[in-house]
Amino acid sequence: MALQSKRKSRLSVWYDKFANFNVETLFSRKRPVGPPRSVFVHQQLPEDYYDKKGKVKKEHTYTTNQVITSKYTIITFLPRNLLEQFRRVANCFFLAIAILQFFSLFSTVSPGLVILPLLIVLGITAIKDGYEDIKRHQSDRQVNYSIVRVLSGGQWSNSNAMEEKSKTFVRGFIPKFKRGGKKNKAVAEDAERDGNKERMDMLQGAPPGAVDLNAPTTTTQPGGPGEEFDGVEYDDDAPVESPGGILHMHHYGTKRPHWKLTTWEDIKVGDFVKILDNEAIPADVLICATSEEENVAFVETKNLDGETNLKSRTACPALTYLRSAKDIADPNDVFTVDCDRPDINLYRQNAAIVKPDGSKAPVDIQMMLLRGTVLRNTKWVIGVVLYTGQDTKIVLNSGDTPSKRSRVEKQMNPQVFFNLAVLAAMAVACGIADALLEQHYFPLGAPWLFGDTHSSDNPKINGLITWAFALITFQNIVPISLYISIEFVRSIQALWIYFDTEMYYPKTGQYTLARSWNLSDDLGQIQYIFSDKTGTLTQNAMVFRQCSIGGRAYKGDPETSTSEDSELTKTDPFLQKSAKRSSSDSDTGLSGSAVPSTSGSGNGSPHVGRVLDPKLATEVKLSNGVLKRFKDHILSADIASAAASTASADTDAQAYAHSRHLHGFWLTVALCHTVLASVDPESGALEYKAQSPDEAALVQAAADMGFTFRGRDKEIIYVTTPFSEGVDRYELLNVLEFTSARKRMSVVVRKLDDEEHRLLLLTKGADNVIFERLKEGHDELKNVTEDHLAEFASNGLRTLTLAWKPIPDDEYEAWNVRYNEATVALEDREEKIEAVCEELELDLRMLGCTAIEDRLQDGVPEAIADLKEAGIKIWVATGDKLETAIAIGHSTNLIGREDNVVIIRGGGDTGRPVYSQMLGAVDEFFPESGILQDDEIAAHIKSDANPTGGYALQRVNTGVTSIVGHDNGNRPGGYVLVIDGSALTEALSDDMHKQLLLRLATQCEGVICCRVSPLQKALVVRLVKDGLGVMTLAIGDGANDVSMIQAADVGVGISGEEGLQAVNSSDYAIAQFRFLKRLLLVHGHWSYARNGNMIVNFFYKNIVCIGILWWYMIYCAWSSQYVFEYTYLLFWNSFWTILPVIAMGLFDRVVDDHVLMSLPELYSHSRRGEYFNLRLFLIYMLDGVYQSAVIFFFLLYGYFSPTPRTDGYDTQLYDFSTTMAISAVMVVTLFVGVNISTWTRGVFIALAIEIVLIWAYTAIYSIIKPSWFVTPVYGNDHYLFHSALFWLGLFFTIPLALLPRIACKSYKSMFHPSDLDRVRYLHKIDPDHDFRHDRDSGGVDYLKRVISMTHGVRRKSLLAPKQAGPRTGSRTDMATGMRTTNTGYDFSMEENGVALRRLQSNLSGINQPGVGGHKRRRSLLHSIGKTIRRKK
């Protein structure tokens, strides 16, 4: 950990404040969190809500629903942008110099011409910033102008007060449905087309009979073309009053309650909104009613918390009668919603419904739809808006758009300060020397001082004037063209990134986009990457890959190009046959009435030929979140054989036993879950609605194997299997819930269709949890299954173990009594329920295990492995639970094969404080790190020497021996820290915890933060960024990643399936995580090397010019006169020397891109900041000083001969100064060329242009006749080009000036070559060399060994670095002391969710409620060794 010095000088403190000044603090006022609020429905605001003037008090005025991520408005653009630009010290200096020259005493040319370069720089930068922000405004507009249905009409009015909307930078377009009809014919036609589209969108949610399908669509009102057109929808049964349907609205139509299409930014607190399936939630909404049975709604929360599984939400029981606009608009329905103040906690909401009679109904987070989530698998939801805009949880967890500056730009400020200090010293020296000389020679009657007797021109004041003139003379020491050149180069670099086809994603047609053009060089210095998991590393989809049943492993059929596994619907002959039986049974009354869909699909519009009963469906639709079907012809044959053998009496015992395992395994998969079954009204196929993609994959696989779950009717579950001819019925008696502590889920079911009515316990969970509850015996099956689990886990698959047991009736009756008593206990209810569940979940019988692949984004493991090899540390911050995060860590190579996982969990369950857990981890795994010896940390450790310490240093209790991992802490792979959200809350609470967390984390190769909120993600980024002073990059794809992206130095958004929230707030937008590798290793490396070298060369070339001017001061009495003719100085940065450095910034390549991709270790040169630092800057400054001295003194003394002219006249100033100018331009041009690693066509052209330009200008400028305009160098060509001293001076000065640089580069490349030198040399002599082979042999270290050898290459194989593989390492939970060998278990389920509550409540009827080969390479490298020996 980089510890900063506690004592700083006042100057350093002042500079730190200046460098870290954030302009946004002046323009973005963080709105304070308001007090608890009351939302009034059908009632006026209380009198105490108004002030004396009759206005609503500020604390009772709610923020608008308008959310703006842009930086500027039309008012703040100019002052804010100027402040941002004048954070550059150089701009302040240029402004001061320009103002100085507005005074006639110091004027050299026109004052307007002087300030013009600064205005150009400021203007171009402002245009670039404005363009970037316009793009942000356009993205904001897409969100703020999204459409939602809001209650309107009738006697409804919303009395809750709202703030006014903010004005934006660019004029917002009018929503299409509000466009008037007064435009020309083309516009009217466009509006009609738009209206048709919107009409179809609205018809999607309109009930039958509410709209006239044959009504004409029009955008013109009967009241005239100037009136506003509104989209209106009715959902009651009354006839439509408007003859034009819902899109032809008359004046009197607004009297009826209806749903009006409204933009998101116009939503108010207290509004009732209607949201349809697959629509995003516009604000934080309290659910009143839904289209589903039991008023359940499903939402996708991956934008909010990163989890892919659907979450179930339920309506507030006190408001479920509000199912239509008419019901809500009833003025007699008065109530108030008392809410807590806006809170960042995503998992907490405290509110209550208060009726006029004083009765209250509680409201919690399970009844809320939060902004940023998407409604799924639910036809419609009606709710009341409680929080809008800045008060919503998603926005509270994000921040204002920061004004980011690159590290290179920050590092330039000290260098500019250094040059300014040199400039000040030069000016002071000139002023003092001039004053002393004038005061000495004036009394002696010096002719050049004749007339210096005025108040503004005398020896006493001229020293000060000379000082000011010196500032103007030497002002180019800080080149103004540097900044405009950097802006230009970065803009072109953004285009290089955009047009890189290697980062183009053809599936979406998206290129990589640089949204912030000034951070390209930061991409080359990244040290820490913070990544989201869901949607960033994974595809949010599962694939059922393999399974083990009764000791036999089934690994699925190999994938083929003609596979039908991913078909959306699949017709199964068995399903058809089963459906026919079920239909006949239904006709005869044997199977009961048709089971309505538990997801409310029966409310949809019926389709001809389609059935809505899941029992009658003949097709199974591929579930959402499942990529492909499971196929295994061996397993299918075994199932068919087992089904046939059940009817045969001569089946052998082994076949019979495996038949029972097959039946029990797939029956457990088909019955033990919370999935809902319904019929897709479009296709008529059976579809599953799951909260978790894990469950969807399992139930889908069971259906693929013939065990089809066909829905449940409260406590009755319907399933078809190959072992029976009809639909089997099971009575669901109890659900033993899944929790992170239990790591298992069980159901107790009774089979209704057999005479015995057997009771079964079906269980699924983690392997170690299931194994320790198995019945004694059958060790062989257990051992085989363990081997299969290890094999599945080694392939990166997520495993789940299944078991079952029969339950005697009397045992169950006694247990059920105890279970019911525990469920109604008022004290320690959870503990009592868990204890009773433990009683039943014993003596289980092993069935087998499943292996599911959490499909990663393409190339993610390889990209992470390469980024780690590049020396970048990767942290993953996710909202998923701990097991999921660890499983993804293994499959993505973040956790290697030999790595150990150290877990820090919140101490709430175990009582062990988080600080104590971290101390224990350091003491056990990093005893020699010196962390515990740190005075600040040691002060908190309780010991004999420090009895007042707050935390005792405890070794971890290893726990149960059977699940302890072997050699934990001694594995060669290193450590990965895993910390959950509750522990992170405590660890970020104060500086004491932060320091220890940071010290512990830096000892680990990676860190995984799970169950974290969006705000915690940002806090973790800031902890590392500020605590270590490192360059950070954050990457994500959802709204929950916005705060993290904004907090990092560089933010990257993935424009995936989660919308544009992350992209809108990012600096770079990519389509896939794997593109991040090329973005950093190639474009980041190139950009940083180009920009760093360009800047130091820029400073260098100006030092050459200023140095020549400075040396001339010795011979001009320190009078600040120019040695050059003024135009040579004026065009120095704009014409003579600009193109080579621009070419360096655009075309230079340290090495080619395929080399950088093949050898990620080369990124370390960029990451360590080798291309731009103070040492490099000083070296280039010394180079410039030396070259200026060689040019000036060699030519000056060369021209000290009697005269170089043939006419005998003495040498004029411009005779030798023009030679100096030409020599300086050629030296600078060639010097920059020497520093360019790759000479491309663009480089050749740029260098040639500069040399030709200076020669052509000199020749043409010297022949301009005075009759055209007067020049001081007329005829100079006659004396210049005919002089031997001119040619001799150029011949000697150019090689002498370049000699030190060329000699040093040659010596270094021959005797002390860097990795880049070796790679460049290899690539030069063998352009087709495959560096991937070198990487397999050891990478850069291999090249070092080979090239440094003097006796050829020894023929021995070099061990390739071990590839990071999936999960065989151990992990230690510091909260419990449990050390386990991870076998890949993971399962996602919402704990204490609505789905489980619903299952438990449905059981109320019978129970109490519950819950090229080596030879050529040798020859090549041998020749390299011989070459080096020759050079030595």
The DSSP letter of residue 387 is E
Break the chain down into helix, strand, coil percent, rounded to 5.
Answer: 45, 15, 40
CB 1329 within 8 A of CB 1322: yes
Please indicate whether residue 309 or residue 821 has the higher confidence score (pLDDT): 821
pTM of the full structure: 0.74
- pLDDT of 853 reads 86
Cα–Cα distances in angstroms (integers) from residue 379 to residues 205, 226, 484, 745, 1141, in the given order: 7, 36, 55, 30, 61
- pLDDT of 1409 reads 41
Active-site residue, selected from the candidate residues 230, 266, 271, 532: 532
Q: Answer yes or no: is pLDDT of 1236 > 60.
A: yes
Q: Answer yes or no: is pLDDT of 1265 > 60.
A: yes
532 is known as an active-site residue: yes
The encoded tokens of residue 740 equal 């992170």
What's the pLDDT tens digit per position in 32-87?
A: 677 889 999 999 999 889 888 889 988 889 989 988 878 788 888 888 888 888 87
- pLDDT of 443 reads 80
What's the pLDDT tens digit per position in 1361-1376?
A: 344 444 445 666 666 5
One DSSP character per residue, 1049-1065 reads SEEEEE-SSS-SHHHHT
The encoded tokens of residue 1216 equal 């030798």
What gap in Å lies between CA 228 and CA 222, rounded to an integer?
11
What gap in Å lies between CA 910 and CA 925, rounded to an integer?
21
Q: Write a three-state SS string for 1294-1311.
A: HHHHHHHHHHHHHHHHHH
Find the mean pLDDT for residues 306-324. 81
- pLDDT of 1013 reads 78
Q: Answer yes or no: is pLDDT of 1292 > 90.
A: yes
Please indicate whether residue 1386 or residue 436 has the higher confidence score (pLDDT): 436
- pLDDT of 142 reads 84
Please indicate whether residue 328 or residue 647 has the higher confidence score (pLDDT): 328
Dihedral class, residue 1208 (left if φ above 0, else alpha if ψ from -120 to 50, else beta) = left
Q: Answer yes or no: is pLDDT of 186 > 60.
A: no
| Confidence grade of residue 1416 (pLDDT, cut at 50, 70, 90) | very low
Residue 590, class by beta-carbon neighbours within 10 Å (0-12 exposed, 13-18 middle, 19+ buried)? exposed
101-115, 410-424, 943-957, 1223-1237 — most confident range: 1223-1237
- pLDDT of 441 reads 83
Number of H helices, E strands in the chain: 45, 40
Please indicate whether residue 1224 or residue 687 has the higher confidence score (pLDDT): 1224
Parallel/antiparallel/unpaired status of strands 676-679 and 374-376 = unpaired
Cα 1236–chain centre separation: 34
Mean pLDDT of the chain: 79
Q: Answer yes or no: is pLDDT of 724 > 90.
A: no
What's the pLDDT tens digit per position in 471-480?
A: 888 988 887 7
Contacts 24+ apart (CB under 8 A), 347-352: 351/286, 351/386
What gap in Å lies between CA 401 and CA 1064, rounded to an integer?
10
| Confidence grade of residue 594 (pLDDT, cut at 50, 70, 90) | very low
What gap in Å lies between CA 1406 and CA 327, rounded to an integer?
35
